[in-house]
Amino acid sequence: MTADLSSLANRLVKGRELSIEEYAFFIENRTPELAQELAWQAVEVRQGIYGKDVYVRGLIEISNICKNDCLYCGIRASNKNCQRYRLTPEEIRECAAEGYRLGFRTFVLQGGEDAYYTDALLCALIRELKEKYPDCAITLSLGERSYESYKALKEAGADRYLLRHETADKAHYESLHPVEMSFENRMECLKSLRELGYQVGCGFMVGSPGQTARTLAKDLKFIEEFKPDMCGIGPFVPHADTVFAKEPAGTVELTCFLLSIIRLLHPPVLLPATTALGTIHPEGREMGILSGANVVMPNLSPVSVRKKYALYDNKICTGEESAQCKDCLSARMRSIGYEIVTDRGDVKKDGRHGRV
Ligand code: 5AD
Ligand code: FES
């Protein structure tokens, strides 16, 4: 490793911040040795906060109906080949009941921006779930909504909200989204969620079209400053019915490198080894954990809809029952010396508003 890289690595580990130029230099000049060194450091830091525990989130994909038309996404509004579905509150309750039985203590309700899910419907559902499972956390991942909506959902009992920022570079954001969507509104939503008291998750795809070392460096700077409670990063995987059908997928190597950096610059962050990572490599999720991730998200959706929630091609876990999916991940985690725990898995807050 060059002296430059070593000294940057040291500053990252000790100071938890670098300049945008330094992050970009780091990304452009990374070597397998540097990646290994950062992964070891990231695992040590994670171990100090979370031990060998891996948190699980039961992912319920409630709807693939979406008003947005993000250029990279398989469920974009203009994809006529997508068979649309939405789950009723009753179906969602059934998924949660099965999840609770299996030991999940966080439910993630994720879906497209589907107007069927009004505040009234969601608030009633959240209240019911919180009443029935008071020891569980509810995470929402339902895209951009109004401040008033986020507020009502929080008051109904939602604990966390995932809204990937997608990219911290405005021009890059605009190249991935139609004109109706704005970078400013995305960032505004994240701020509102934080202000309302949610545990907030941001994130981005690795290897999205047009991404450069510099746009990634800005993502890292954003994470360093925003200090999200959660951060979802996974490789971009092309979907045949999108504008980016012919683009290459992101790599496991770069995703894992970035997972390590994110753990080091914000130690308490809840960092999933995503399904997309498992999709591009058979051991992708294990590699993610060994790079500093500490969360996995097995699928709790009804098997009948899983194939339809196709943000990208060849997604894994679409044929499995929920129990199989959970057992599979438990075995995978055990094989690398980690243990899935039955726990809400809240962020260990110590470092949230300052440097740890
Ligand atoms: N490949 C990987 N991730 C994708 N997402 C959407 N489309 C793709 C794709 N083709 C991610 C986006 C979104 C999250 C729900 O899924 O980052 O925020
Ligand atoms: Fe879903 Fe392996 S994690 S089948």
What does the block give as tokens for 21? 């130029």
| pLDDT value of position 350 | 64
Cα 71 to ligand 1 centroid, rounded to whole Å:
10
What's the half-sphere exposure (Cβ side, CA atoms, 13 Å) at 348? Answer: 15
| pLDDT value of position 355 | 37
Amino acid at the residue 254: L
276 lines ligand 1 (CB under 6 A): yes
Amino acid at the residue 267: P
pLDDT in tens, 96-150: 999 999 999 999 999 999 999 999 999 999 999 999 999 999 999 999 999 999 9
What does the block give as tokens for 103? 């030991």
Q: Which residues have CB under 6 Å of ligand 2?
A: 298-299, 317, 320, 324-325, 328-329
**Atom in ligand 1 nearest the alpha carbon of residue 242:** 10
Residues sharing a CB contact under 8 Å with residue 229, sequence separation 6 or more, in sequence order: 160, 199, 200, 201, 268, 269, 270, 347, 352
Ligand 1 mutation target, pool 211, 312, 313, 314, most atoms within 8 A of CB: 312
Helix axes 252-265, 32-50, angle to 10 degrees: 50
Cα 100 to ligand 1 centroid, rounded to whole Å:
27
What structural domains and CATH numbers belong to the chain?
3-341 (3.20.20.70)
**Atom in ligand 2 nearest the alpha carbon of residue 275:** 3
Q: Which residues in 215-237 are b (16+ Cβ under 10 Å) and which e? A: bbbbbbbbbbebbbbbbbbbbbb
CB 187 within 8 A of CB 147: no
| pLDDT value of position 122 | 98
**Atom in ligand 1 nearest the alpha carbon of residue 204:** 17
DSSP assignments along 215-271, one per residue: HHHHHHHHHHHH--SEEEEEE----TTSTTTTSPPP-HHHHHHHHHHHHHHSTT-B-
* Alpha-carbon span 356 to 354, nearest angstrom: 6
Cα 291 to ligand 1 centroid, rounded to whole Å:
21
DSSP assignments along 107-143, one per residue: EEEEE---TTS-HHHHHHHHHHHHHH-TT-EEEEE--
Q: What pairs with residue 202 in β-bridges?
A: 231
The stretches in the chain having pLDDT less than 50 are: 351-356
Cα 256 to ligand 2 centroid, rounded to whole Å:
19
Residues sharing a CB contact under 8 Å with residue 125, sequence separation 6 or more, in sequence order: 89, 92, 93
What does the block give as tokens for 330? 């438990």
**Atom in ligand 2 nearest the alpha carbon of residue 317:** 1
244 lines ligand 1 (CB under 6 A): no
Nearest 10 degrees: CA dihedral of 318, 329, 264, 219? 0
311 lines ligand 1 (CB under 6 A): yes
Cα 164 to ligand 2 centroid, rounded to whole Å:
23
Distance, CA of 59 to chain centre:
11
Nearest 10 degrees: CA dihedral of 7, 34, 205, 248? 130
Cα 54 to ligand 2 centroid, rounded to whole Å:
15
CB 105 within 8 A of CB 343: yes
Cα 73 to ligand 1 centroid, rounded to whole Å:
6
Counted residue by residue, the chain has a size of 356
Ligand with smallest separation from the Cα of 322: 2
Cα 79 to ligand 1 centroid, rounded to whole Å:
15
| pLDDT value of position 8 | 93
